Amino acid sequence: MTIPALDPTELAWATTKLNDLIAGFDAVVVGQPRLRTALLTTLLARGHVLLESVPGLAKTLAASTLARAVAGSFARIQCTPDLLPSDIIGTEVFDPATTRFRTELGPVHSNFVLLDEINRSSAKTQSAMLEAMQERQTSIGGVTHALPDPFLVLATQNPIEEEGTYVLPQAQMDRFLLKEVIDYPTAEAELEVLNRVESGVFDVAEPAIASINDVLRLQRICAAVHVDETLKRYMVELVNVTRRPSSYLDGDQARWIEFGASPRGTIAFMQVARAAALLAGRDHALPDDIVGMRHAVLRHRLVLTFEAVAERVSVENLIDAVFKAVPTP
């Protein structure tokens, strides 16, 4: 199927709308450009994002700010070992007044869902949530309930406290479009946070900049961004290197990679390249769009050997080696 060329007026509208969203986001969230890029890229590409960071780096604020900017619903779920699947997706409750069961939808039925410390929930609860992410629907009492559109899950993990956590299986990690690692803000950005707290910026609810229909329109425009056949081959070759590292990387690097990325990784590169191009105001993807998001796309898709984990080998360095092994078109 041939994707029709992107209408210049549609591109101009999308560029203006995205610039407004970026300005609105930056007016509230300070010093987290990678977080902003990850959220907008994931939203445009109709995916989900996994964030790894210590507490207190504005993840909840960022997700709620984006939801408010597009007039979307927002839910935060604090994951704990005793959290049940029904606490997330919903359940049937008996109503004495009608002597019938009624369906109570869970917090996952929101446009933007923050799963805080997803690795603290049990494997059964993780599976229920990730199934909802993939199918974009839930089943309660044998009845299927569609999740709202757009639907974006922002899941977080704390890299410091690992006691009492359940590691996400690789098959479930692969369902996240991106995994971004958020670092502390700079001293200048942190000073700006103090000034905004003092001025009461965070106490004022900003009006919506866009609507849910605008987001759906942006997603349709993003899907129409052109990706050349040469770029598609580039993506396939990159992912192929992760699967056969001994054929492309030197011995020291190749032995660290146990399993490479699945075809989901290749698809993710194409989705992310389109979103990055649109964020840059272009109707076509460039190699730089792929290179710029390489760590976020691949860091959770490469399975390192036990030896690599024990020696704290940087997965980002291995990803850089993969990209050096494939000529940029």
User: Residue 167's domain spans which residues?
Assistant: 1-224
Task: Please indicate, yes or no, whether residues 289 and 147 belong to a single structural domain of this protein.
Answer: no
CA quadruple 26, 30, 34, 38: dihedral sign? negative
Cα 309–Cα 313–Cα 316 angle in degrees, nearest 5: 120
What is the average pLDDT across 186-198? 88
* Domains of the chain: total: 2
CA quadruple 222, 23, 295, 129: dihedral sign? negative
Asked whether the whole model's pTM tops 0.75, one would answer yes
- Residue 102's closest CA among 111, 93, 113, 91? 93
pLDDT of 99 reads 79
Give the confidence band of 212 by pLDDT, cuts at 50, 70, 90.
very high
Q: Strands 90-95 and 257-259, how do they pair?
A: unpaired
Q: Cα 121 to chain center, whole Å?
A: 19
**How far apart (Å, rounded) are the C-alpha atoms in residues 270 and 62?**
25
Task: Please indicate, yes or no, whether residues 239 and 288 belong to a single structural domain of this protein.
Answer: yes
pLDDT of 12 reads 95
pLDDT tens for residues 250-268? 878 889 999 999 999 999 9
Task: Please indicate, yes or no, whether residues 143 and 8 belong to a single structural domain of this protein.
Answer: yes
CATH code, domain carrying 262: 1.10.8.80
- How far CA 202 is from CA of 2, 38, 55, 309, in Å, comes to 46, 22, 18, 40
Task: Please indicate, yes or no, whether residues 174 and 238 belong to a single structural domain of this protein.
Answer: no
Task: Please indicate, yes or no, whether residues 203 and 247 belong to a single structural domain of this protein.
Answer: no
Give the confidence band of 134 by pLDDT, cuts at 50, 70, 90.
confident
pLDDT of 36 reads 92
Residue 5 has pLDDT above 60, yes or no: yes
pLDDT tens for residues 56-84? 788 888 888 899 999 999 999 998 888 88
pLDDT of 164 reads 57
